[in-house]
Amino acid sequence: MHTTVKKSPLNVLLNAVLEPRDADFWLQKINPLWSVEQALGKIVHKDQTAQDTLSFTLQVNKHFQMGEAGQHHPVFVVVNGVRYERTYSLSKIDDKHVLLTVKKVVGGKVSTWLLEQAQVGDILELGQPFGEMTLPKTTAPLVLLAAGSGITPMYSLLQNLVQTQQITDQNVTLLYWVKTQADAAFVQQFQAWSAQYSNFKFQLLCTQEAPQAARLNAEHLALVDHLEQATVYACGPSGFAKQAEQVFSQAQLIQTEAFSMSAESSAEAGFVNVTLTQSNKVVTIPKGQSILVSLEQQNIKPKHGCRMGICNKCACNKAEGSTKNIINGAQNAEPGNLLKICVNSAQSDLIIDL
Ligand code: FES
């Protein structure tokens, strides 16, 4: 979707004489949300939604393009003078406001800054939406599997189903894994929807609190009706996404997103050499670990965005070598392939155009 934004006379004038960044400097003296071309959001409210989890209400400017429910947006913040990009799923509140929900990640610079430092009135830069886990066009049963922060796109999908009343025509099941009740976000809302709409089934599964629930496994298939006709969406750490792909393989369609690469993905032993043709370097990285993470550990900073295999910003050409997708296990040994380095690990020596 492409929208044309009409420029104000002040914008036109500033644009004619200044670079966008300089024009923004002056515009933001008048209103911090004004910009020649950048999508910005001002924090107008923050609220604790679960343990270590805050929801921010952002007032957005006219350059912001709301994604479809279930999509993600890049969010850029500057921490100690360094600009970081992270990916979050936003939910629409109204035409001028969106909800950004952030769970603290241990050691995570951006989530820690947002939870501990960000204040009402602060401005965040936002990017274009991306992601394919949007509402299916059919009314076939929909199964949503979420673990931890993987709940945010599911919340946005459900909110849309409720707003459009599609939830009255479609069987929807949400299974939500957390460590403890205190870690669960939006639970009251999910319970209210399941009380109101007979088509919506919701189950919270706590893995570290009585009654203790098991991690996702084949027994959970019993909680889902008509799996062969169902669309299944799963979002969580890579180990969860991988398990969902295996357990729900009989579904009509399964789509997964992983927001972090679990440690179990890096269980493979050994090292391989990666030749970076553009920077004329050869580096040795461990097998089994995300190539992006491995290169970053060697102080190489490849271009990237979501780190989840969705936005394509990290994709580069692989001239030679064998790789394995960390989420679904798919191997690729063909030469001349586009490779997303954030979700692939090296299985052999590689030559890539970085
Ligand atoms: S960083 Fe988005 S696909 Fe790799």
| Distance of alpha carbon 234 from alpha carbon 242, whole angstroms | 9
pLDDT in tens, 255-302: 999 887 765 444 567 899 999 999 999 999 998 899 999 999 999 999
| Distance of alpha carbon 270 from alpha carbon 283, whole angstroms | 14
Q: Please tell me the predicted confidence (pLDDT) of residue 20.
A: 78
pLDDT in tens, 174-222: 999 999 999 999 999 999 999 999 999 999 999 999 889 999 999 999 9
Greater confidence (285 vs 22) lies with 285
| Cβ proximity of 227 and 250 under 8 Å | yes
Position 4 confidence tier, pLDDT thresholds 50, 70, 90? low
Is residue 310 within 6 Å of ligand 1 at its C-beta?
yes
252 alpha carbon to ligand 1 midpoint, in Å?
A: 26
22 alpha carbon to ligand 1 midpoint, in Å?
A: 30
Q: What DSSP state is assigned to residue 44?
A: E
Three-class SS of residue 50?
strand
| Residue from 314, 325, 345 to probe ligand 1 pocket by mutation (most atoms less than 8 Å from CB) | 314
Atom of ligand 1 nearest to the CA of 312: 3
- pTM to 2 decimals? 0.85
Is residue 242 within 6 Å of ligand 1 at its C-beta?
no
| Residue from 130, 304, 339, 345 to probe ligand 1 pocket by mutation (most atoms less than 8 Å from CB) | 304
Is residue 339 within 6 Å of ligand 1 at its C-beta?
no
Where does the chain have alpha helices with state H?
9-17, 20-30, 109-116, 151-163, 187-196, 238-247, 291-297
Is residue 42 within 6 Å of ligand 1 at its C-beta?
no
Number of H helices, E strands in the chain: 7, 20
Is residue 307 within 6 Å of ligand 1 at its C-beta?
yes
Q: Please tell me the predicted confidence (pLDDT) of residue 165.
A: 94
Is residue 327 within 6 Å of ligand 1 at its C-beta?
no
| Residue from 72, 312, 339 to probe ligand 1 pocket by mutation (most atoms less than 8 Å from CB) | 312
56 alpha carbon to ligand 1 midpoint, in Å?
A: 25
